[in-house]
Structure 1
Amino acid sequence: MTHLLQHEALQHREKQRQQLLNRFFSYIAFDTQSKPDAQKSPSSIGQLRLAEHLVEELEQLGLSEVKLSRHCVVTALLPSNCGSKKTIGFISHLDTSPQMSGKHVKAELIQEYRGGDIALGKGDDYISPVDYPFLQQLVGDSLIVTDGNTLLGADNKAGIAEIMTALEQLIESKVPHANIRVAFTPDEEIGLGMDFFPIADFICDWAYTIDGGEAGELQIENFNAAGVDIVIQGHSAHPGDAKDKMVNALALACDFHQYLPKNEVPEKTAERQGFFHLDKIEGDIEQVRMHYLIREFDAAQFKLRKQQFQQWADQFMTKYDLQQRFHVEISDSYQNMYEVIRKVPQSLELAKMAMQECGITPLLKPIRGGTDGAKLAVMGIACPNIFTGGYNFHSKYELASVQGMQSAVDVIVKIAVLAV
C-alpha cells in the first residue's frame, strides 16, 4: 500500500509539473517586450494579448472579480474556502526586457542537467559554468534555455505560470486557504505599469511579487532611485571659422561627466553599494541630452547623492558660465520598500516559514534594482519579492530551473495555507 501511495504521489507531482511547464511555454509564445520611452501603458500590443489570455484562464479556473483594466492590469480574487479574513496578494509582470528580443522564443527543455557547457540552438553560443558558476548548483535539475537568439521570458512569465499553477492546485486540493488576490501588470521593465495600478481592485493585508531569481531568494529591500535629465544647449559654427563662436554641446557633456566619481558606477559596485550611472546620451553640437540614474539603499545617503549631483551641476554651470545653456532636473523614481515592509514584519515571517516548511532555505538579498513591489509599498502595501527559479535575466543566456519553478509554486501554496 505504501509503494502504491508513493507511486500515486509521484504521478500527481509529475502532472503538476507538466501543468506548470505547459503554462510557461504557452506564455513565452507571446511577444510582450516593453518599449522604452513609452508614453502610455501597455507599451506593446503583445502584453494586452497575454493579459486577455490570462483573463480567460482565470475565468475558467473559477476565480471571481476577474478584471482587465484599460491600462492592461489583470486582477482577480480566489475567495477563502474556510472563512478566513486574511487576504494575501501575488503579483507578476507581463512584459519582458527591452534589452533583448522576446519574439519567436524557441525554448529547449534539458532533462537532468549533468554539468558542463549548455549549447544554445545550433549555433556556437553556449552557457558555461566558467562564466556562470551557479550552474554547478543546478546539476540534476531540468533546465529550460533558449536557442541563443532571444531571451527566454522567465522574467517574468515564470512568475505568472507559478501563480496560475498555484491557484489551480489550491482549487483542486480544496485545502483551507486565505483569500488570494492576484495581479499581472504591464511595463514593469520600464517602470511605467504601476503608475496606473487599480489599487481599489487589490485590497489585501500584504502581497508578494513573484519576480526573483534562484530558489530561496527572498527580498525585502531595494534601491531608492532617482533619474536625472540634462539638456545642454550648444551653438554650431563652421569648424574653419568657429573661434569664439562655437559652443560644442558634445564636448561640454564629456567635461561634465568627469565630475562624477569613476568608482561609483554599476560595473564597480555590488551588494549594498550605491552608484551614479550614465544611462543615455544623445545629440550633436547644437544640443545634447543626457540621462543619469542615481541609486542608493540608505535614505540619508540617497538624499546626499542627489544633493552632490546638483552641486556638481551648479559648479559646472558656474565654471563655463552656462546658466542659459545647462538644464538639470532630478526626479525620484521609486523608494526602498523596506520602510513599509518593516512595519508589517509578518509578511517576511510568513514567507520564511513557508519556504522552510517546503524544505527551502530563505536567502535574504537586497534587490539592486526595483520591482512593482517597491511602487506598491508607496501605496501602503508591504510586498516582499520571492524567487521564480530563473537566472541570467534580460539576456539570451536566460534560463530557468524546473525544480526551482516547482518550488516557487509550493511556496505560494504554502503561504496561502499558512495565512489562514
Structure 2
Amino acid sequence: MVKSERILNEFLELVQVDSVSGKERDMADLLKRKLSEIGLEVSEDNAGREVGSDTGNIIGKLPGKSGAPVLLLSAHMDTVEPGSGVKPLIDGELVRSSGDTVLGADDKAGIAAILEVLRLVREQNIEHGGLEVVFTIWEEGGLFGSKNLDYSQLAATAGFVLDSDGPPGTIVTRAPWQDHIGATITGRSAHAGINPEQGINAIMVASQAIAGMKVGRIDEETTSNIGIISGGKATNIVPDSVTIQGEARSLVHAKLTAQTSHMCETLQKAAGKFGAKAKIVVDRQYDGFRLDEQSLPVRLASSAAKNLGLTASLKNTGGGSDANSYNSKGIPAVVLGIGMSKVHTTEEFISLADLSGNARYLLEIVRATQALP
C-alpha cells in the first residue's frame, strides 16, 4: 500500500527546506499546509515564544470512527548544523547528503513516514481510533519543543516517536534521565610573571577537579562528560574565573543522583583545597522512562512487527528524545528505529528501503489497534 516513489519525493522535498534548531518557520508552514490538505485539523502552539524559535509546535488531529485508542505520531522538525542548503543525492539504494551538510533524515525521514501513513489512512479508509500528530521544534540539544508543548490539546493514550537509528522493528523502551552541570570556579588574578603566587589559578583548580572526576562510561547504565571549559584573559594573567559545563545520564535515577553528586563534590573539594570558590548549578534536562512489554505502545509495535515479518527488537538508549517528555506528561511513548545512519555528520544517509519500510511499519501499528481485545 505504501507508495515508495511518493515518500521518496516527499523526503527529498523536506530535506531541502532549511530548518535548523530555532529556525523552523518554513518547515512548519509547509507541514501545516500538507496536513491541512490531507484533511487534518491543524494548529500551532506557543512553544516558540517560550524557547526563542520562530515557530511553535505543529499539532494535527484526525478523528477516528472506531473505539480503538487514540495514537500520537511524532517527529521533530529541526536539524543540527550544518543543516542549511542541503542537497540530497541518490546513490544506488541510498540517499546521502552532498557532503557539505547533514542530510536531515534525523528527523525528516520520520516526518515523511507520518505524512505517508496519514495519506494512506485517508485514501484507503483505514479504521482507527484517532490520530494526533505532533511535529516539534528544537528537539536537538534540549527537547525544548516537547517540553513546552500544549498538552491540553492531546488525548492520545499511546505514542510513537520516529527518531532512532536501527531498522524498522527497533523499539526503544527505555531512556535515561539527564542532568546538566554548570560550574563557575572563582580564584584570584595576579601577574603571571611578577607575582603569580598571589593569585589563585581558576583553570588549574578546574583541571584538578576534572582529573579527579569519574567521567565517560561509568557503568552499563550511566555516563558523564565534561564538554565545555571556558576561561582566562591573557597568558600573563593568572585566571580568576573559569566556567565548566558537563552532564550526567543514567537509566537508573539513583545512579544519576550519585554521579551528579560526585561531580559536584569533586568540584567543591578542589576549590576548597586551593582557596577558590565554586558556584554550581544543576538542571534536570529530562526524566527517563521505562516501558514493559505489556504497555500499550510496546504491544502495538511488537504486534505490527510480527504481522510484517519483522524482528521486534526492544532496546535501551543513552540518548534523550521527545518520548522522554511525552512519558513524563503521562503519554506512554516508545521511539521507533527509522534506519537513519551517521546522523549529526555530513556522511548521514538512509536507504530507500527504510524510507518505505518506516511508513509500512507505522501503518501496521495503526492497523494493529483494531485487533486489540
Tell me the TM-score normalized by structure 2: 0.90
**In the alignment, what sits opposite 1:376?**
326
Q: Deviations over 1:343-368 (max 9, x none)?
A: 96122011011112122111222111
Root-mean-square deviation (Å) = 1.7
2:124 pairs with 153, 170, 173, which one? 173
2:303 pairs with 324, 333, 353, which one? 353
CA shift for structure 1 position 392: 0.8
CA shift for structure 1 position 381: 0.9
Aligned residues between the structures: 354
**In the alignment, what sits opposite 2:236?**
none
2:273 pairs with 312, 319, 325, which one? 319
CA shift for structure 1 position 106: 1.3
1:258 pairs with 211, 226, 243, which one? 211
Q: Deviations over 1:291-330 (max 9, x none)?
A: 11101111221221122223223322332233xx211122
The separation in 2 between residues aligned to 1:149 and 1:347, in whole angstroms, is 38
**In the alignment, what sits opposite 2:345?**
395
- 2:302 aligned partner, one-letter code: K
The separation in 2 between residues aligned to 1:344 and 1:200, in whole angstroms, is 26
Mapped pair 1:276 → 2:224: yes
Q: Deviations over 1:49-73 (max 9, x none)?
A: 1011100111111112x10123210
**In the alignment, what sits opposite 2:172?**
219
**In the alignment, what sits opposite 2:95?**
144
The separation in 1 between residues aligned to 2:315 and 2:195, in whole angstroms, is 54
Mapped pair 1:309 → 2:259: no
CA shift for structure 1 position 256: 1.2
Q: Deviations over 1:160-210 (max 9, x none)?
A: 011011100111111222211000001100212223101012221111101
CA shift for structure 1 position 233: 1.7
- 2:178 aligned partner, one-letter code: A
Mapped contact 1:276–1:295 kept (Cα < 8 A): yes
Tell me the TM-score normalized by structure 1: 0.81
- 2:113 aligned partner, one-letter code: E
Equivalent residue of 2:360, what SS? helix
Equivalent residue of 2:193, what SS? helix
CA shift for structure 1 position 247: 1.9
2:162 pairs with 210, 225, 230, which one? 210
The separation in 2 between residues aligned to 1:359 and 1:379, in whole angstroms, is 33
CA shift for structure 1 position 279: 1.4
CA shift for structure 1 position 228: 0.5
Mapped pair 1:24 → 2:8: no
**In the alignment, what sits opposite 2:45?**
69
| Structure 1 unaligned regions, length at least 5 | 1-11, 35-42, 112-141
**In the alignment, what sits opposite 1:91?**
74
CA shift for structure 1 position 404: 1.2
Equivalent residue of 1:244, what SS? helix
Mapped contact 1:178–1:417 kept (Cα < 8 A): no
Mapped contact 2:94–2:349 kept (Cα < 8 A): yes
**In the alignment, what sits opposite 1:48?**
25
Identical amino acids, percent of aligned pairs:
22
Equivalent residue of 1:200, what SS? helix
1:103 pairs with 84, 97, 118, which one? 84
The separation in 2 between residues aligned to 1:103 and 1:59, in whole angstroms, is 26
- Structure 1 stretch displaced more, 184-193 or 294-303: 294-303
The separation in 1 between residues aligned to 2:329 and 2:368, in whole angstroms, is 25
The separation in 2 between residues aligned to 1:58 and 1:347, in whole angstroms, is 24
Greater percentage in strand: 2
* CA distance 1:361–1:397, shift in 2 (3 Å): same
**In the alignment, what sits opposite 1:235?**
188
Which runs of structure 2 are paired with 1:184-199 in the superposition (5 Å)?
Answer: 184-191=135-142, 192-199=144-151
Mapped pair 1:78 → 2:62: yes
CA shift for structure 1 position 334: 1.2
**In the alignment, what sits opposite 2:37?**
60
Equivalent residue of 2:243, what SS? strand
Mapped contact 1:214–1:404 kept (Cα < 8 A): no
- 1:255 aligned partner, one-letter code: Q
CA shift for structure 1 position 18: 1.2
**In the alignment, what sits opposite 1:328?**
280
CA shift for structure 1 position 280: 1.0
The separation in 2 between residues aligned to 1:394 and 1:208, in whole angstroms, is 22
